[in-house]
Amino acid sequence: MTEALIVIDMQNDFCPGGALEVPEGDVIVAGINALMAEFPAVILTQDWHPAGHSSFASSHTGRAPFEMTEMPYGPQILWPDHCVQGSRGAEFHPELNTDRADLIVRKGYDPAVDSYSALFENDHETPTGLDGYLRDRGLERLTMVGLATDFCVGFSAQDAADNGYEVTLRSDLCRAINLDGSLDAALEAMRAKGVRIS
């Protein structure tokens, strides 16, 4: 009973037709739903930005989506407006089995700090609360699925490994943005931290 399935950001804005579309982001939903039956604990994460979030390109005059900028906590990609609190884009994909979730972790709601990882915001210091929940329940072996492999899934897997969890990435149940080689870089970084990629 020490295993948990962590389902990262399976939201409308990351699926085809969404504001920050991940190619084929919706084709993994059925497989994720089926996998839930194999785990005693299922946790969903949800990107949950206020309007005008500092990571949105629209919040920076003259800047375009996917440009880089510097934030007080380091380099930051500027994104299209996405997963705005209460919007349809922020909702989970309608076919995702949300009833199976033991916990839903919302992240990225601090207007000044983006949050890729399910465990920490992008300042790498502010916790989301997930680590404490996992430890309280004795959940030590984590399987990561969802969107996107090279950003929120990848950073979640690395942070979990850094915090002593045994982490597996199910690459068949993830999809990537692959921005300028970001997928290969993320896979290499995960392997370096001991994440098992299957």
- Catalytic residue list: 9, 107, 152
Q: What is the enclosing helix (H) or strand (E) of 182?
A: helix 182-192
Q: Strands (DSSP E) along the chain, which ranges?
A: 3-8, 41-47, 68-71, 74-77, 103-107, 141-147, 166-175, 196-197
Query: Rounded to an integer, what distance in angstroms lies between the CA atom of residue 69 and that of residue 77?
Result: 6
Closest CA relative to residue 163, chosen from 18, 6, 1: 6
Whole-number CA gyration radius for the chain: 16
